[in-house]
Amino acid sequence: MFENIYNQIYYIGIQTMRYSKRFFKWLWALILKPIRMIGTLIFTVLILIDKFALKTFHESVTEFKKLITDAQGVSDKIAEAKTEGKGKFFKKIAGYVKKAYFRYRKAFLYVLNIALPVVSLIFLINVATVWSDTTFALEVNYNDKTIGYVQSESVYKEARELAYDRLDVSATSSVVTDEGEEAELIGDADYKIKPVKLSQINNASEICDKLIENSDSKITNACGIYIDNSFVCAVKNETDALSVFDSILAEHETGEENAVVSFVEDIKYVQGLYPDNESTVKDASYLSDKLNSKKSEARYYTVQAGDTVSQIAQKFGMKSSQIFNLNPELKENIYIGQKILLSNEVNFLRVQITKTETRKVEVPYETIEVKTDKLYVGDKKTITNGVNGVVEVTELVTYVDGVRVSTKEVSRTTISEPVDKKVQVGTKKNSYSSGAVVSGGGRLLWPTVGAYSISSGYGRRSFGDGWHAGIDIVRPGGSSGCTVVASEAGTVTFAGWYGSGGNTVIIKHSGGLSTMYCHMKNGSLRVYTGQKVVRGQAIGQIGATGYVTGAHLHYEVKVNGRNVNPMNYLKR
């Protein structure tokens, strides 16, 4: 059994090897077939190239060899021709060259076919190299002299304006020529289009120097001072100019580490050619005087009858805050003849100081109301006093000539938090506090317009404040500003401040009767002591002056000097 299995395995192995050998042999033949075809094709192409493309080369090489041999043969004859004179010598040379060309034409043509493309390529490279750094520009000719090259005519016009500015003359200025005719100081130029190097193109400043150099003025090399692009003067030495500006800054140094001192205006120092005359070139002392002069003086307004701060601000196109900033001592109440500063004097050269400053700012507390039935409606009681908080504000502040012009907040640091104020507000109602109109059966008119509720009645108070000699009249939602009227015709015996009663009016009526009106608003009293009033005449407004917990009218009625319950005398 095992022998049969062994034989089967052996047979399978032999057959596998046989067929594998046949397969790989077939595969190798298949791979070699295209390789042989490609090789044959390449060989054929090389033969064709050699036969046709290189045929001329082989023929040219052969002719060159013959040409060299012939040239060696005629060298002796050429040497003999030198002794026969230049005419015959060059004639013989030309004859030999002609014979050589017609005899060895293929060699000459082959050399030309190679040389011409090479020469053309070299020429093209040279042209590209030259023109890569070349452009077309306008050649500027002024007074029959070429003074430079510009991209456009506008550059020349700009240069001419710069020259006028530097010469300190206007564009309409003129000069008298040798023929006695007037001409422009700096006239127009002639232009020609020229190819030039990029490095030869001039800017307006360079053309300006050339114009001045070719003008009739005497010129010198100096340093021009420009403030906000406006020419001030020129100085011989730039160091002198710098020392003048530095001395101005030094005068404003504060010694503070965080302070930066600089000029508001833009200052430029331009080194170049300038007219050598007294109107243009100055010394350091002139520059110092000029820089320390004023551009404009301070402007004031004298207050007229009927003027207010807001009206003055509107009249001059300003804000009220600007006027108060310029006049720190100014108040809302101004008087006739008072001078108000509208604008500060302006220095020719302004100095600004930028520094960080800190200040403390109060943060207002909030009031929290707590309702309680231990107090009557309209009564309030403070149980915790409010305390404002404090924060430290750091700001970046800019001053121009000592005037604060801008502020930018940088940071805030809390020093103490605000403490809220807590107030108890009564909700308890008494027999008189119904919230509706209360009327009595007496002769007196109700003393208020719009306020008809009683927050505290006449008599002993249940919350321990003793005897209440009158009634407190309020209006739900807010009493302040309600009109107070006289309950009856009579004479005012008192009008003014009455201690804890605040602004008070007392009126004496007929029959031994008198009425008192307390806690009225500041500035609202409309009567004076000794004045006669009629029934219902307005005498003031409900307020919260004197000793109060809120706005209300404390109203009393007296008969022959003794307090009585007002409700027995009031009617609606």
In this structure, the dihedral spanned by the alpha carbons of residues 445, 449, 451 and 455, taken in order and rounded to 10 degrees, is -40
Three-state SS letters, 270-330: EEEEEECCCCCEECHHHHHHHHCCEEECCEEEECCCCCCHHHHHHHCCCCHHHHHHHCCCC
The candidate with the shortest Cα–Cα distance to 411, out of 393, 399, 429, is 393
CB 375 within 8 A of CB 463: yes
CATH tag, 299-343:
3.10.350.10
Question: Would you state the pLDDT for residue 78?
Answer: 64
Burial class (CB in 10 A: 0-12, 13-18, 19+), 376: buried
CB 469 within 8 A of CB 566: no
Sheet containing strand 483-485, strands side by side: 448-449, 483-485, 538-541
Q: Which amino acid is present at 523? A: G
How confident is the model over 346-365, as a mean pLDDT? Answer: 88
Other CB atoms within 10 Å distance of the CB of residue 243: 13
Identify the band that residue 175 occupies on the pLDDT scale cut at 50, 70 and 90.
very low
Q: What does the alpha-carbon distance between residue 346 and residue 298 come to, in Å, rounded to a whole number?
A: 7
Considering the domain delimited by 429-571, tell me its CATH architecture: Distorted Sandwich (2.70)
Is 90 exceeded by the pLDDT of residue 9? no
**In the numeric block, which tokens belong to residue 19?**
């067929």
**In the numeric block, which tokens belong to residue 447?**
């003393």
**In the numeric block, which tokens belong to residue 504?**
């008070």
Consecutive H or E run containing 378: none
Secondary-structure breakdown of the chain: helix, strand, coil percentages, each rounded to the nearest 5: 35, 35, 30
Give pLDDT tens digits for 148-157: 888 888 888 8
Consecutive H or E run containing 372: strand 367-376
Consecutive H or E run containing 343: strand 339-343
The candidate with the shortest Cα–Cα distance to 159, out of 88, 78, 220, 214, is 214
In which region does residue 323 sit, left (phi positive, over 0), alpha (psi from -120 to 50) or beta (all else)?
alpha
Provide the CB-side half-sphere exposure for 246 (13 A, CA).
6
Q: What does the alpha-carbon distance between residue 506 and residue 58 come to, in Å, rounded to a whole number?
A: 144
Is 50 exceeded by the pLDDT of residue 298? yes
Provide the CB-side half-sphere exposure for 301 (13 A, CA).
21
Residue for token digits 């801008």?
Answer: 406
Residue for token digits 């504060």?
Answer: 254
The class of domain 354-424 in CATH terms is: mainly beta
Share of the chain above pLDDT 70, in %: 74
Q: What does the alpha-carbon distance between residue 301 and residue 320 come to, in Å, rounded to a whole number?
A: 14
Residue for token digits 């020349």?
Answer: 156
Is 80 exceeded by the pLDDT of residue 186? no
How confident is the model over 200-220, as a mean pLDDT? Answer: 76
Q: Which of 132-136, 209-213, 308-312, 427-431 has the lowest mean pLDDT?
A: 427-431
Question: Which of 23-32, 329-338, 541-550 reaches the highest mean pLDDT?
Answer: 541-550
Is 70 exceeded by the pLDDT of residue 24? yes
Question: Would you state the pLDDT for residue 415?
Answer: 93
Q: How far is CA 406 from the centre of its chain?
A: 14
Which 3 state secondary structure label does DSSP give 7?
helix
Query: What's the N-to-C CA distance of the chain in angstroms?
Result: 141
CB 281 within 8 A of CB 233: yes
Question: Would you state the pLDDT for residue 534?
Answer: 92
Q: What does the alpha-carbon distance between residue 267 and residue 108 come to, in Å, rounded to a whole number?
A: 74
CA distances from 149 to 138, 139, 199, 208, 245 (A): 5, 5, 10, 12, 37
CB 550 within 8 A of CB 378: yes
107 contact partners, CB below 8 Å, separation of at least 6: 60, 63, 64, 67
In this structure, the dihedral spanned by the alpha carbons of residues 544, 547, 552 and 554, taken in order and rounded to 10 degrees, is -130
Pairing of strands 421-428, 367-376: parallel
How confident is the model over 102-126, as a mean pLDDT? Answer: 65
How confident is the model over 118-123, as a mean pLDDT? Answer: 69
Question: Would you state the pLDDT for residue 134?
Answer: 78
Q: Which of 24-38, 103-117, 264-278, 416-430 has the lowest mean pLDDT?
A: 103-117
> In terms of pTM, does the model score above 0.75?
no
Q: What does the alpha-carbon distance between residue 189 and residue 210 come to, in Å, rounded to a whole number?
A: 12
Is 70 exceeded by the pLDDT of residue 243? yes
- Measured at the alpha carbon of residue 13, what is the angle toward residues 12 and 16, in degrees to the nearest 5? 85
Q: What does the alpha-carbon distance between residue 285 and residue 477 come to, in Å, rounded to a whole number?
A: 75
- Partners of 474 in the beta sheet? 453
Is 60 exceeded by the pLDDT of residue 437? no
Question: Would you state the pLDDT for residue 29?
Answer: 78
Residue ranges covered by each domain of the chain: 2-52, 59-131, 134-175+183-217, 230-295, 299-343, 354-424, 429-571
**In the numeric block, which tokens belong to residue 208?**
């300006």
Is 60 exceeded by the pLDDT of residue 249? yes
Give pLDDT tens digits for 463-492: 555 788 899 999 888 889 999 999 999 999
Q: Which of 190-199, 350-359, 535-544 has the lowest mean pLDDT?
A: 190-199
Q: Which one is predicted more confidently, 108 or 181?
A: 108
Q: Which one is predicted more confidently, 571 or 366?
A: 366
Q: Which of 161-175, 234-248, 527-541 has the lowest mean pLDDT?
A: 161-175
9 contact partners, CB below 8 Å, separation of at least 6: none
**In the numeric block, which tokens belong to residue 221?**
């090399």
Identify the band that residue 171 occupies on the pLDDT scale cut at 50, 70 and 90.
very low
Give pLDDT tens digits for 30-81: 787 788 778 777 777 766 665 555 556 666 666 666 666 666 666 666 666 6
- Partners of 484 in the beta sheet? 448, 540
Q: Which amino acid is present at 548? A: V
CA distances from 288 to 91, 243, 244 (A): 88, 10, 6
CB 348 within 8 A of CB 294: yes
- Partners of 300 in the beta sheet? 341
Question: Would you state the pLDDT for residue 103?
Answer: 63
Q: How far is CA 230 from the centre of its chain?
A: 23
Q: What does the alpha-carbon distance between residue 225 and residue 117 come to, in Å, rounded to a whole number?
A: 61
Give pLDDT tens digits for 370-409: 888 876 555 667 888 989 999 999 999 998 888 788 888 8
Q: What does the alpha-carbon distance between residue 477 and residue 500 come to, in Å, rounded to a whole number?
A: 24
Q: Which one is predicted more confidently, 307 or 219?
A: 307
- Measured at the alpha carbon of residue 342, what is the angle toward residues 339 and 343, in degrees to the nearest 5? 125
Average pLDDT, the chain: 79
